[in-house]
Amino acid sequence: MQFTSLIIPILLIVLMWFFLIRPQQKRAKEHREMISRVEAGQRITTIGGIKGTVKAVDETTVVITVNGHGTEMTFEKPAIKQVDPS
């Protein structure tokens, strides 16, 4: 009887990990990998919705050109939402 009362909470924790935590960890890993592959010339979108072309990349930041007039903005790499298809 004591063992049976422990089964349900353990089962709920396992299910919560499988359906909530694991998918979030997978998305975070994919995002880190995508950010690490960013290079000059790619089109990106930031988490703020700003679209631009990558001009320079270093360890922690990325410089993008946001319009045809050469306006440049510097962002932290985690601010990149996605790399747009070319």
pLDDT tens digits along 70-86: 899 999 999 999 999 86
Alpha helix locations (H) across 1-86?
A: 2-16, 22-36
- How many angstroms from the chain centroid is the CA of residue 20? 17
CB 66 within 8 A of CB 50: yes
Of 42, 48, 74, 45, which is closest to residue 61 (Cα–Cα)? Answer: 74
For the 3-83 domain, the top CATH level (class) is mainly beta
If you ran DSSP here, which 8-state letter would residue 40 be given? T
Q: Which amino acid is at 32?
A: R
pLDDT at 30: 95
Q: Decide if pLDDT at 43 tops 90.
A: yes
Q: Please compute the mean of the pLDDT values over residues 10-33 and round it to a whole number.
A: 92
If you ran DSSP here, which 8-state letter would residue 21 be given? I
